[in-house]
Structure 1
Amino acid sequence: MSAVTTSATAAGDAATDAEASDATPVEGADATATEAATDAAPVDRTAVGAVEGNAQVRRRRLSPGKRLPAARLVGPVLFLALWAAASAAEQLDPAAIPAPWTVLEAGVRLWTAGTLPTDILTSLQRAGSGFAIGLTAGIVLALVSGLSRTGEALIDGTVQLNRAIPTLGLIPLFILWLGIGETFKIAIIAIVVYIPIYLNTHAALAGIDSRFVELAEVQGLSRFQFVRQIVIPGALPGFFVGLRLGVTGSWLGLVVLEQINATNGLGYMMFQATNYGQSDVILVGLVVYGIFGLVSDSAVRLIERRVLSWRRTLSG
């Protein structure tokens, strides 16, 4: 029995050693495979990072990019350069379209004579008076119409009807009502200004999310607090769009109005130059109008950017 037991024990130990020796290569192979996978992992992360980087680059290309300094001057400067080049190459008729230097000489001559400063000041006064009245009317009517169903019923339809009627077509009627002097000119400019301000401000008010109104009611805000904290911030983007259109409209209306029974102003200067065939003087007036329009629009955009600095937009 002792010999048999000893033999069995020896056989069991041998079998155990054999199993251990058979299992050892497998475990080593698994470890080697694990190490190989670990070594390959950084390569995969690099590839993933490259893909993510390419995706970010593609996403950045959807944006217009950084704002260029004095970007709005590129177009006018390019136009001026083409105009000067065409004039120097004698591709333009000097009697119809004088060269830029000829227009500059005419402007200097008119400024020295004192005609141009007087006309500019008169035009600024007319445009400023009409713009102030139109701005006030547009804001007040938009607030009353946008915040009250009764006000909307009384005002919005009338303004839409007024918008459908050509404003310059009202000139004969306003001359009969207000006379041929300065009053009717200022009134027409005010109408030209208030319509876009009203339309855009009213549309912005109508577009305010109703959840903000519900939140204001839950918070127990007063009418004044509601207007100051909800209405004004929500309507400002649309208001500034209408303001830009109104500023431009005041100059457009002024060109026509200053040619009707006027004795001074840029429009009057251009009308008189037409009678004498002075195309250089006409272009002087157009250039001054263009400068005023560009400067006023840039001023409104600058104010808009400062007031609405909390917004994250493509233009920002």
Structure 2
Amino acid sequence: MNRHSSSAASALLRSRWVSPVLLLVLWEAASRSGLIPEHTLAAPSTVVATLFGMIRSGELPSNLLVSFGRAALGLGIGVALGVALGLVAGLSRQGEVLVDPLMQIKRTIPVVALAPLFIVWFGIGETPKVLLIAFAAMFPLYLNLYNGIRGVDKRLVEGALSFGLNRWQLVVHVILPGALPSLLVGLRYSLTISIVMLVIAEQINASAGLGFLVNNARDFMRTDIIVVCLMVYALLGLGADLLVRIVETRALAWRPKLVEA
């Protein structure tokens, strides 16, 4: 039974590659035949050649490092604020009254709409780029941690209190572990949003980074470079999500699986 399930899963995995490969073949054929002009969208072969050329020249790694630094710093600030505010609102009624209304107001404001205001306040340097990412990444952490804390089974809390745990021990050994799955879900959302906001933030007068490459490529109609940068953005998002999945697998090893292979 297990062998049959494994074979079926392998066949399904192979079949999922059919449509992407077919799309690439049709794209290449359309580009080579002139159906898709080079200035509209470069062929996959051209994109791959450009990718390796940018790696060899060091242009892509150096700009990727700048973008990664922006995303990591903004995400770190957003995660720290989101977790801190989620703990305050989730663990205290007074904290909820103080924090949650402000966070709900923040939720209704599109982060992109704050870009002009951040430019007025902080100029066009690195600060508004990092703060836009942090501001966008903060809310998913806050909301999921807050809901995770409030969703902890009351019977677990009552049982822990009956064993004589004080408030600090209750939080550390019962409430936070119970809220950890929600926190990790929020972290995955925050990672995704941070990559999206990185793309937007790097349109603000960037002098280095993937957004800088995209802006220059747009001016010179280099669609191959634009596609390369889009691929890198996508890989950053996939890599970040994979990292959280690995952490989730290890941190939540105690959680029973719904379906066994």
Q: TM-score if structure 1 supplies the norm length? A: 0.74
Cα deviation for residue 298 of structure 1 reads 0.7
Identity score, percent: 40
Cα deviation for residue 259 of structure 1 reads 1.2
- Measure the CA separation in 1 of the matches of 2:73 and 2:93: 31
Tell me the equivalent position of 1:222: 166
User: Which moves more between the two structures, 220-229 or 155-164?
Assistant: 220-229
Tell me the equivalent position of 1:170: 114
Q: TM-score if structure 2 supplies the norm length? A: 0.89
Distance 1:131-1:85 versus aligned 2 partners, 3 A rule: same
- Measure the CA separation in 2 of the matches of 1:126 and 1:168: 17
- State whether structure 2 residue 234 is matched by structure 1 residue 290: yes
- Measure the CA separation in 2 of the matches of 1:203 and 1:94: 50
Distance 1:234-1:190 versus aligned 2 partners, 3 A rule: same
Cα deviation for residue 209 of structure 1 reads 1.4
Q: Does the aligned pair in 2 maintain the 1:192–1:249 contact within 8 Å?
A: yes
Which structure has the higher relative contact order (CA within 8 Å, separation 6+)?
2
- Measure the CA separation in 2 of the matches of 1:193 and 1:99: 35
Cα deviation for residue 203 of structure 1 reads 0.9
Distance 1:78-1:160 versus aligned 2 partners, 3 A rule: farther
1:54-133 to structure 2, matched below 5 A, reads 75=16, 77-78=17-18, 80-90=20-30, 93-95=36-38, 96-133=40-77
Gaps of 5+ in 1: 1-56
1:138-287 to structure 2, matched below 5 A, reads 138-287=82-231
Cα deviation for residue 78 of structure 1 reads 4.2
Cα deviation for residue 87 of structure 1 reads 2.5
| Counterpart code for 2:253 | S
Gaps of 5+ in 2: none
- Measure the CA separation in 2 of the matches of 1:79 and 1:107: 23
Cα deviation for residue 89 of structure 1 reads 3.1
Q: Deviations over 1:199-231 (max 9, x none)?
A: 111111111112222222222212221111111
**Structure of higher CA gyration radius:** 1
- Measure the CA separation in 2 of the matches of 1:236 and 1:257: 30
| Counterpart code for 1:241 | V
Q: Does the aligned pair in 2 maintain the 1:83–1:100 contact within 8 Å?
A: no
Partner of 1:90, secondary structure, is helix
Q: Deviations over 1:252-273 (max 9, x none)?
A: 0010111111101101111111
Partner of 1:259, secondary structure, is coil
Q: Deviations over 1:173-196 (max 9, x none)?
A: 111222211111111111111111
Q: Does the aligned pair in 2 maintain the 1:87–1:98 contact within 8 Å?
A: no
- Measure the CA separation in 2 of the matches of 1:72 and 1:212: 40
Count of aligned residue pairs for this structure pair: 252
Partner of 1:89, secondary structure, is helix
Cα deviation for residue 314 of structure 1 reads 3.4
- Measure the CA separation in 1 of the matches of 2:180 and 2:46: 44
- Measure the CA separation in 1 of the matches of 2:15 and 2:69: 30
